Structure 1
C-alpha cells in the first residue's frame, strides 16, 4: 500500500479552493451538498497564510508559480495541500469518489493514474445501492443505543451484521425512515431480551490462488471475528480478511478453543492448506457447533 486512505469529517470544517478555471471548479464541486464551509481564493489572496487559517484541507489549481506560492502559504498555516496535476507538490491525492451520503467509497492511485481511478470508480459505483447512505444513517441514529444495549464488541458486530440484511435496513433503503427506526428498535429490544447468538466455524481454502476463491468465502473472510492462520496460506487470501480480526496459530486453534469462541458469539474462520482433520470436525459437531466448509470454487 503506497498511500494510506483516510476520510476527513466535514461537519464544521473549512475547506479552501485556491485558483480559477475548470480544475478549481471541479475541486469545488466535490463539496456540493457537504456540511463543510468552502472558501474560494483567487489572485494574491491565495498567497496569504492567514487566508487558510483554520482550514482542514486546501486544493490549489494554477500554473507552477501560483501553485508553489499558494501551497507554501497553506502549509505555513499548517493545512494539508493538494495541488491539481502536481503530485510532487501535494500532501495528499484526490481519489475518484462514490458519494452515497453517509456511505462514501473512494478509489485512488497515489496520483499516478487518475483516469484509471475514474474507470474503477464507474465499475464499483453500480454495485453501491443509492439507498446505502440511508442505511448508514439508520445505524448512526441508533449507534449509542446499540453500544449501551450490547457492550460486548463481537456480539455487537453480530447484531449489526444481521441488521444490514434486516427488514429495518430494507425500509431504510426504500426511504421509509420512520418504519426503519421502529423495526430497528424492535430488533434491538428482541436481541437484548434473548440469549446471545452463537457464532460458527467456517473452514476456508487457504492455499490459493486467491482469484479462485468463491464470493461467499470472500464475504466470510471480510466478516470474521477470529482467523486461524496455518503456515502456507496464500497472502492474497489472507489479505481478504478483516485487518482487525483476532488471529490464532494452528496450534492454538484446538477444538476446545474454537468451541469457547463460538459459544461467546464469535465468527471463526479457519484457513486450511490441507483437508480438515475429521477428529476436529467431529468434536465441533458433537459440541453442537455450526460448521461450514468452503474449500474450493465450483469446478476447481
Structure 2
C-alpha cells in the first residue's frame, strides 16, 4: 500500500486553489461540497468558474500566484491546477517549505495527497485510487461500485447515526449490536426493504434467542473469483472461522479481519482435528452465540464431509446454512478446457474418491464402466497405481486417455496427460503433486495444452 486512504474534514477550513480553468473548477466543486472555504488565484478565469465561486462566497484573486499568498491565507491544503508546469512546480516548492499538503493535478510526483475516484452516498463515502497509475481503471471500479450500491443507502446510514444511542441502550453487548446492524444493512445492500429502525429493533429483540448459527461454506477450488456472493457475505460476517488446509490464503483473507480463525485442516494421515472434534467446535461456538463459518475447499457435499457437520448441527439443535462451492472437478474441467461431458464423446460423468473413511485404497468402480462415461477421481493421486490396476482389471482399455490436474484454478496449476498404460510412469517422472484431480475418459483427448 503506497498511500494510506484517509478522510479529511474540510468543513470551514481554507483550501487554496491556483488555477482558473476547467480542472480548477472541478476541484473547487469537490472542495465546496466538503464545506471548505475557497481561495482561488489565477490570472484568467473561465466565466462559469467565476459564477460558481461567487455563488459559494469564495475569495477570488485575479493575479499571478505569489508565495506570500500562502502566508496570507494559511490554507489547510493547496491544489495547483494551472497549465503552466513551472508555476505548479513553484507552488509545490513553496508548500513544501511551509509543510502545507499540496496536490499538483495530474502530476503524482508533486502530490502529498491524491484525489480518488469517489462514490458519494453521504454520509457513506468511498474512495478508489490507483495511486495515479491507472486513473481510468479507478473510475471504472467506481462505476462498478455505484451500480451495486442502493441509492437510498446514504439516507439509511444517516438515520442509523441518529439511532445508535437507542440501539446501544436496548442491546447491551457489542456482539448483539453488530448482529442487529448487519441484519439491517445486509438487507439494504441487496435492495430489500428495511422498515423503520425502531420497528426493526423491536423485531430483532423479540426474535433474538442469543444462539448463534453455523455456515457450512464451500470455498471452491482456490481461486477467489470463483466464490459465490453468498459465500463472501457469510465469510465477512462470521465471528469464528474453522478452515481447511485446501482454503487458499487469498480466500482466508476475505473473511472478517477480526474473526477468530482456527485451522482444522485434514490431510491424508495428518489431521489437525478429527471430524468429531470439528463437529463439537461448531456446536460449541454456535451455542455460545457466535456465527461460525466452516470454510471448506471445493463443495461441502462433494467428498467434503459437510453432511456430517450438517447432521451434527441438526442433532444439537443449532441453526445452519450450507453454501455450495465450485467443486474441484468443475474447476479442473473449466480451467483446462476438458469438458466432463461432450456431445458424441461422453454422456455421463462419475465422481469417485481414492480415499475412503477407513483409508483403504481404491477398490473398484462398484458398477460397470461405460465407454461414453467420464471418471473423475478426488484425493486419488496417492492411490494412482491402485486405481490404474483396478480399472485395467475391470476391462478398461489401456489407451484410455487420462489427465491429472494439480492445483486446479490456481496460478500454479499443472496438467499431465497420458493413458491408462503410461500415466503412472509419467506422474512419477513429472512429480505432479497433490491436491490433484484425475480425469479418465475420451474427453481428455479434447485437451489442448
* Partner of residue 102 from structure 1, selected from 94, 119, 123: 123
Alignment root-mean-square deviation, CA: 3.1
Gaps of 5+ in 1: 173-179
If the length of structure 2 is used for normalisation, what is the TM-score? 0.56
Q: 1:148 aligns with which of 166, 169, 186?
A: 169
111-120 vs 273-282, which deviates more? 273-282
**Which deviates further from its counterpart, 88-97 or 17-26?**
17-26
Structure 2 CA distance for partners of 1:22 and 1:154, relative to 1, 3 Å: same
Partner of residue 74 from structure 1, selected from 95, 120, 138: 95
Match of 1:134 in 2: 155
Residue 379 of structure 2 corresponds to which residue in structure 1? none
User: Which segment drifts farther, 27-36 or 275-284?
Assistant: 275-284
Question: Match for residue 311 of structure 2?
Answer: 282
Change (3 A) 1:38 1:204: farther
Q: 1:217 to 1:7 in 2, by over 3 A?
A: same
Listed one character per residue, the Cα deviations across residues 134-157 of structure 1 (whole Å, up to 9, x for unaligned) are: 011111111222233324222211
Change (3 A) 1:170 1:204: closer
Give the total of aligned pairs.
Answer: 288
Q: Which one has more relative contact order, counting CA pairs under 8 Å at least 6 apart?
A: 1
| SS of equivalent residue, structure 1 residue 218 | helix
Q: Give the match's secondary structure for 1:81.
A: strand
Q: Which residue number corresponds to residue 339 of structure 2?
A: none
SS in structure 2 at match of 1:105: strand
1:4 matched residue in structure 2: 4
Query: Take 2:204 and 2:293, find their aligned partners in 1: how far apart are those partners?
Result: 24
Shift of 1:32: 4.2
Q: Deviations over 1:196-216 (max 9, x none)?
A: 443211122234222221121
1:1-300 matches, within 5 Å, as 1-42=1-42, 43-45=64-66, 48-51=69-72, 53=74, 55=76, 57-62=77-82, 63-164=84-185, 165=187, 183-192=196-205, 195-206=208-219, 207-250=221-264, 254-273=278-297, 275-276=304-305, 279-297=308-326, 300=330
Superposed CA deviations along residues 82-120 of structure 1, whole A, max 9, x for unmatched, are 211111111222111121221222221111111222223
1:204/1:278 Cα in 2 relative to 1: closer, same or farther (>3 Å)?
Answer: closer
Compared CA separation, residues 194 and 222, structure 1 to 2 (3 A): closer
Residues 220-271 of structure 1 show CA distances to partners (whole Å, capped at 9, x for unaligned) of 2222222233333223322332223332222588444433432343222222
More helix by share: 1
- What TM-score, normalized to structure 1? 0.81
Whole-Å Cα distance in 2 between the matches of residues 84 and 151 of structure 1? 48
SS at match of 2:65: helix
Change (3 A) 1:227 1:26: same
Contact map agreement 1:19 1:46 (CA 8 A) in 2: no
SS of the residue aligned with 2:106? coil
Question: Which has more radius of gyration?
Answer: 2
Q: Does the CA-based 8 Å contact 2:16-2:75 persist in structure 1?
A: no
TM-superposed CA distance for 1:276, in Å, is: 3.4
| Worse-matched range after superposition: 245-254 or 259-268 | 245-254
Indicate if the aligned counterparts of 1:202 and 1:292 stay in contact, CA closer than 8 A. yes
Cα deviation digits, residues 9-68 of structure 1 (max 9, x gap): 34444433333322211111223433333333443346644356361x432213333222
